[in-house]
Amino acid sequence: MFMQINNLKVHYPVRGGFFNTVIDHIHAVDGISMEFDKGKAYGLVGESGCGKSTTGKSIIGLEKITSGNIIYEGEDVTNKRRDRKSAYNRDIQMIFQDSHSAMNPRKRVQDILAEPIRNFLKLSPQEERKRINELLAIVGMPEDSKLKYPHEFSGGQKQRLGIARAIATNPKLIIADEPVSALDLSVQAQVLNFMKDIQNEYGLTYLFISHDLGVVKHMCEHISIMYKGRFVETGATKEIFENPQHIYTKRLLSAIPEVSPTGRNARKRERINVETHYQKEHSLSFDESGRVFDLVPVSETHFVAASPNVKEVI
Ligand SMILES: Nc1ncnc2c1ncn2[C@@H]1O[C@H](COP(=O)(O)OP(=O)(O)OP(=O)(O)O)[C@@H](O)[C@H]1O
Ligand SMILES: [Mg+2]
């Protein structure tokens, strides 16, 4: 384990009233913990607004952390995340859903790729040019791409450039926030397979954020399912899929379309009746205010949020 996140909370103030004072807080992330092993892929899934992007952004320092801490290689880096030139900022990179808006439209690709290199690696101009060519080759883009501007590329190509920028500094952890959801299905598969390839080649660790459980199943060894800023269930992908415990996980799994190997006879897995199921299990899954309970172990590699007296029920 090279990185650990402990009881992370990100609460956004809500302002209002005549004096525009803080009248409430949105608990976007409300006490989550994670551990990252080198070379593994961790999935973070959950419906829109549950706090996935806030989690990713707070880890790389784009959002303020309300409480909790991040331990990186044995050191508490919670307050160093905003130090743009720190080793932490070199080693943890992010890929966004929409690479286009994450790239300066007035800069050529070579300048976009040069930015992280200049921030973190001390290279001569000649070495820098070599590294840029190398990065373009890694992501399968022609060398003359470096003279073009972001708008001259397709969605899949832009994602590849976003990946090239993210890997420029040889990072340890890449946080990929819905990296393929804006792409056509066929291009999605290409980019996902490519991400798997570079993961294996460079021993990268991924925190892979997606609302699509199918994609996460394909990419990740470990999954955390988020609901209202908390984890309802977390564990080895196989265990989550074969032995889901939380009502919310079951609900997500029942919504995945199952496609036959031939692609024909595509059918929906039988949907569970969420309402009746939900009522029956609700009191075991959420406390009286609707907050997700703390996690309890199901096995050594599988945890579920459950009421303290749920042990007899599982
Ligand atoms: N800068 C902000 N100020 C106030 N509230 C915010 C801010 N950013 C996000 N939120 C709120 O925090 C919650 C979590 O948002 P977040 O973007 O992390 O969700 P998400 O899981 O990434 O959703 P999606 O799948 O739609 O991307 C939401 O209720 C959102 O409205
Ligand atoms: Mg998001």
pLDDT in tens, 62-96: 999 999 999 999 999 998 887 777 899 999 999 98
Give pLDDT, residue 301.
95
Q: Of all helices (H) and strands (E), which one includes residue 300?
A: none
Output the pTM of the full model. Answer: 0.90
- All structural domains of the chain: 3-220 (3.40.50.300), 239-314 (no CATH)
Give pLDDT, residue 278.
53
Distance (Å, rounded) from C-alpha 153 to C-alpha 16?
A: 42
Give pLDDT, residue 283.
67
Q: Is the pLDDT of residue 267 over 70?
A: no
Tell me if 225 CB under 6 Å of ligand 1.
Answer: no
Nearest to 247 by CA among 163, 313, 153: 313
Residue ID of nearest Cα to ligand 1 atom 9:
54
Tell me if 169 CB under 6 Å of ligand 1.
Answer: no
Nearest to 3 by CA among 174, 157, 126, 129: 174
Give pLDDT, residue 307.
84
Q: Is the pLDDT of residue 273 over 80?
A: no
Residue ID of nearest Cα to ligand 1 atom 19:
49
Instruction: Count CB atoms within 10 A of the CB of residue 24.
Output: 11
Tell me if 211 CB under 6 Å of ligand 1.
Answer: yes
Distance (Å, rounded) from C-alpha 67 to C-alpha 80?
A: 14
Ligand 1 atom closest to residue 12's alpha carbon, by position in its atom list:
4
Name the more confident of 124 and 258: 124
Contact 235, 305 (CB under 8 A): no
DSSP β-ladder status, 92-95 and 302-305 = unpaired
Contact 27, 9 (CB under 8 A): yes
